[in-house]
Structure 1
Amino acid sequence: MEKFIGPAIVIDCSEIKEISLDFLKMKEDEIKNVDFVLFYSGWQHKWNTERYFDEFPTLTTEAVEWLAKLNLKALGFDSISVDKMTAELLPNHKVLLKKEILIIENMTNLDKLISKKFELNCIPLKIEKSDGSPVRAFARVEI
């Protein structure tokens, strides 16, 4: 269970087209003190529309490789993927999963957690021989 619970932050990337290493370095101290890094792009508001599959902010190769070197449990996104929809080989998936960093996609309400200290719980269903699962994700905010 400890793989699915821990301190987290939300990084607001709603005003950018790609999540670069330079952008992440501005939050380096915060990132290095958590188990989960969640990215709010505002994409949750496009859910159930064709625009949900448009080009949403994704991590650059340099950024994902830097994050993979950290002791993170997972990265979370309010969009459909950690990779661009046009990326057939899913390079970001491969880098993260090779390091056993989980990927949480299609999250919602991340905007309510920007600048807050909280514990993330993202409890998956136990599905035998599966490479993925829906999760019940919830935050316990410090008061």
Structure 2
Amino acid sequence: MKLIDLTHELEDGLLSYSVDETPSIFPLATIDSFGYEVNKLLITTHTSTHIDAPKHVLNYGEAIDTMPLENFFGTAFILDVSFIENTVISLEIFCKLYTCDADYIFFYTGSESKWNTQEYLYNYKYPSLDLCDYISKLPIKGVGFDTISIDSPHSVSLENHKALLKNNKIIIENLNTLSLLKNKLCTVFIFPLKIKNGDGSPARIIAQI
């Protein structure tokens, strides 16, 4: 058995879309001064590797703390789409590549190598709405991407998020090290924080092969 961490580190000053979203981590107490260390985290529910719950875009969507625990464990197929030239991942290319049934579909686009850069924020691959509509009807628990969003950086309505979340498919964004698992099937353990009425949560994602 081998365990692989699919999570980016949560660190001070990560590049974000706005100053308000930039995480801040600073000491409240140090061992030298108090005999113990405590740090304060100022983060959003969507900082670093995280899960989007239906409440993220739906007024009456389920919150992260009330979602069944079964939603956070299962098999995942890591679909390699890093080689496609188009920015939009089409339904046609998905149907050609997805050959293995799983509880989750994780898309490796190659963006993990651009982590914490401006290019990561604005230049990434994302699924078409047709593809999201198709996936929303599959008997799966959710999807994951190694990108900051499953919608276009220019999207205002977040139509891809809504297509999946209204059908209770969780969305994981900012996955890491999917390059180690391209086109493989593995078991995944997903650990979000239990945030009351949370619209999402930072999460530790572990793969077992």
With the shorter chain as reference, the TM-score category is over 0.9
Asked if residue 53 in structure 1 is aligned to residue 127 in structure 2, the reply is no
Matched with 1:110 is 178
Q: Deviations over 1:1-35 (max 9, x none)?
A: 211011111111112222111111113441xx201
Q: Which structure has the larger Rg over C-alpha atoms?
A: 2
| Contact 1:7/1:35 (8 A) holds in 2 | yes
1:82 to 150, 163, 175: 150
CA distance in 2, matches of 1:87, 1:135: 24
Q: Is residue 26 from structure 1 mapped to residue 96 from structure 2 by the alignment?
A: yes
Deviates more, 1:19-28 or 1:93-102: 19-28
Contact 2:140 2:169 survives alignment (8 Å): yes
Structure 1 match to 2:57: none
For residues 60-139 of structure 1, the aligned pairs below 5 Å read 60-139=128-207
Could you tell me which runs of 5 or more consecutive residues in structure 2 were left unpaired when the two chains were aligned: 1-68
In structure 2, distance between residues paired with 1:91 and 1:115: 27
Could you list the runs of 5+ residues in structure 1 that have no partner in the other structure?
A: none
What's 2:106 paired with?
38
Q: CA deviation at 1:115?
A: 2.6
Tell me how far apart the structure 2 counterparts of residues 73 and 100 of structure 1 sit (CA, whole Å).
8
- Give the aligned residue type for 1:12: D
In the superposition, the TM-score normalised over structure 1's length comes to 0.93
Which fold has the larger relative contact order, with Cα–Cα distance below 8 Å and residues 6 or more apart in sequence? 2
Maintained 8 Å contact 1:35/1:72: yes
Q: Deviations over 1:29-76 (max 9, x none)?
A: 41xx20100011111111111111123111111111100010111110
Following the alignment from structure 1 to structure 2, what is the Cα–Cα distance between the partners of residues 55 and 61?
A: 18
Contact 1:55 1:84 in 2 (8 A): no
After TM superposition, give the deviation of residue 94 of structure 1 in Å: 0.5
Counterpart-to-counterpart distance in 1, 2:115 and 2:98:
30
Contact 1:56 1:79 in 2 (8 A): yes
Distance 1:95 1:123, change over 3 A: same
Q: CA RMSD of the aligned region, Å? A: 1.1
